[in-house]
Structure 1
């Protein structure tokens, strides 16, 4: 039997007494989500997702013709409801008391409405159809900016109702799937914008165009050193403004300064920005009452045949032992309440979850590499507004394109962060496995 509503999908986790469940339920429940038909969802859950790689995105979009643009639109048109359907089924597997949480219920409603919207779109046959489809994509992307903070608040409020490992698996699944949907949607929007631009000539290889190094959202010559310096300057400026002090650590970049690779720039900027932000804050706090100059943050770039590895080393005192168990978890243990209060101050987050302001000055200074898109609607966050999501989110982004992120802490001294990026762009997006049709 298939049950179409998450409120009917009970699962047994570690036993708790009835009074505990009742108290937890009363603290998080609200108006029940509406009943949804199941037959349509079953049909789409049966379909397999079709993952893509950066190389495929580049090859397909480099020579942009009308048939290719229409083909891209129909891929996105069918892939989005397929990917959403699998994640809706994952949400339906959660216990009733969890899905009734107002934040998670809102996310469920957003996803179901998007599923219904996209599955009803007929085949795209011409440019006019594609323009209408792109309008729907833009509207949906904007509506879903609230999803990440709502997910985070929901899982923090449901602490104790699910084991931490279940919460983390659920969050990683939904966040990775969210990245995948926004990648293909924003890529198609970027290709459409390029095709409709007055200077587009199908098949042209003119490299004088300032955006020639981009194929849609894929930046073909992503330079590690430039990204580190740009994100570092921005993080330093934010810390300087927040603290009112000039005692901000320098950032020294060594190794292979010319290492380049194809990547989605906003993804890399988020990861690097978050790591540098953590290091700058740790060093600044450790040396704020010291008369000596803070030691620099050292970044080493290593280019190998198949990978680029970046090591970010600081002397900020390391990670306290009590925090280590929660480092990569969305369940922050004793710190959950503080992070929940901070999340309430962040109503919406952009697709990339990067929380650094993109100023007009930066757009002008970096006009060769800055592209309008999800980066243009980033939410500003002062350094002291800690959300507890930076590291787990950064790892989700790193692993999405088959990379990795690891941290090594020497308590009392500092932290080494190791970010590995696939250099060739030939790895498929790491899309979460499909849900099973008989899961509920």
Structure 2
């Protein structure tokens, strides 16, 4: 397919040359589902690809899974089950990617051609094209080759989150905040879903080939089944995340700056199955916000001569376990969220703060969205036990060197995406001038399907 020169054409003209022209709203153009070609290159000199193959995959529906299904399937691992897992991932990845490609095609043309969104589009189409061509997995050798492909794609897609965030910030003047946030929530949940099934299969493969593993043997309840940690003890997760966020604060503000103590109370023995990296990211972000707020408020009061000898107010974490849920309440006295910031708290498009956050995001070329990205590299937890660190670069690994005081404006909205992915919730109660109470609710039974859009937006209408 020859390249088309689009640099000097208007949006309507560009679309007529590329395929069919469709309007979504007055003055707003997008590439319609029935367009003959799909955009797949940088806006300066675009490539265009046939749509028929994408149509076939986008017509399929994704098959959501639950944590319980992941646990039951992987608890007694055999070669046949590993091959079955490979073929599920082999067909599910291109299906899920095709839906999000189709969603991107519904964006206004000026958004699709934003350099950052455009780069994400290219990455998605490349992954779709690669995975759709993978033949049926029939043996362990086929599976090893497939796993190599997955690892390469996971690594190649690490720039996706910062690229999406920069694209959304740059397009906030041409598309409504609510529409942009809906798009981001959909595409980020879908990204999590793909990484879950891909990393789960890689972890099962690592387990199957581990020297200590006996095929068909039942894994104990103190271990991982793939990426699912069977017994996440809430208190230990908070302690581990708390120490990490306190270390971040020491690096950001200096070793001699007083840092709020983190007190844990409630149902300290509460435990549940979960993907540990998801939970650590959410708890880590909430505690980091509270610690930063506490340190900065203490510094302000000290500079004003108020309570010069006092320590920062402690952060109180209350754990509550019910028959179906575990709830974390994180309460601080860091002064609360300023009134002018509240409208943008859960949004990826940050209004007046966009320019500053855009500059910060340019310093973070890769982001896996994990707590470990924010802390000093440390392979052991507070009890001296080694963290599980697979050989492939998955979401449990430290994959970027984000400075501790570099704020991106993504922590809360991305944390809520993670919480809602497994049918949980995240909410804040703000007391301006006093502090914030954050409430994280987790489904402890693992029986809730992943919350994702199973079809492309246009196909579901």
Q: Give the TM-score normalised by structure 2.
A: 0.87
> Which secondary structure does the structure 2 equivalent of 1:375 belong to?
coil
1:138 aligns with 2:151: yes
* Partner residue in 1 for 2:456: 435
Q: Aligned pair in 2 of structure 1 residues 179, 9: CA closer, same or farther (>3 Å)?
A: farther
Equivalences for residues 39-438 of structure 1 within 5 A = 39-205=52-218, 207=220, 213-244=223-254, 245-289=256-300, 290=302, 291=308, 292-350=310-368, 352=370, 355-357=373-375, 359-362=377-380, 367=385, 369-372=387-390, 373-435=394-456
Give the Å deviation of 1:221.
0.4
> Which secondary structure does the structure 2 equivalent of 1:294 belong to?
coil
* Partner residue in 2 for 1:20: none
* Unaligned ranges ≥5, structure 2: 1-14, 29-41, 303-307
Q: Distance in 2 between matches of 1:163 and 1:411?
A: 27
Give the Å deviation of 1:32.
4.3
Q: Distance in 2 between matches of 1:169 and 1:206?
A: 39
Check the 8 A contact 1:356/1:378 in 2, yes or no.
Answer: no
> Which secondary structure does the structure 1 equivalent of 2:91 belong to?
helix
Give the Å deviation of 1:357.
2.7
Q: Aligned pair in 2 of structure 1 residues 308, 9: CA closer, same or farther (>3 Å)?
A: farther
Q: Aligned pair in 2 of structure 1 residues 312, 98: CA closer, same or farther (>3 Å)?
A: same
Give the Å deviation of 1:44.
0.4
Q: Distance in 1 between matches of 2:90 and 2:16?
A: 23
Q: Aligned pair in 2 of structure 1 residues 14, 280: CA closer, same or farther (>3 Å)?
A: farther
Q: Aligned pair in 2 of structure 1 residues 433, 32: CA closer, same or farther (>3 Å)?
A: farther
Please give the root-mean-square deviation of Cα atoms over the aligned residues, in Å.
2.3
Q: Distance in 2 between matches of 1:386 and 1:9?
A: 40
Give the Å deviation of 1:361.
4.8
> Which secondary structure does the structure 2 equivalent of 1:374 belong to?
coil
Give the Å deviation of 1:367.
3.1
Check the 8 A contact 1:6/1:94 in 2, yes or no.
Answer: no
Q: Aligned pair in 2 of structure 1 residues 123, 96: CA closer, same or farther (>3 Å)?
A: same
Give the Å deviation of 1:436.
5.6
Structure 1 residues 33-42 or 51-60, which shifts more?
33-42
Q: Aligned pair in 2 of structure 1 residues 268, 189: CA closer, same or farther (>3 Å)?
A: same
Check the 8 A contact 2:372/2:398 in 1, yes or no.
Answer: no
Check the 8 A contact 1:295/1:315 in 2, yes or no.
Answer: yes
Q: Distance in 2 between matches of 1:69 and 1:198?
A: 16
Q: Distance in 2 between matches of 1:57 and 1:38?
A: 33
* Partner residue in 2 for 1:19: none
Check the 8 A contact 2:67/2:273 in 1, yes or no.
Answer: yes
> Which secondary structure does the structure 2 equivalent of 1:281 belong to?
helix
Q: Aligned pair in 2 of structure 1 residues 189, 358: CA closer, same or farther (>3 Å)?
A: farther
Q: Distance in 1 between matches of 2:108 and 2:269?
A: 51
Give the Å deviation of 1:433.
3.8
Check the 8 A contact 2:284/2:371 in 1, yes or no.
Answer: no
Give the Å deviation of 1:198.
1.4
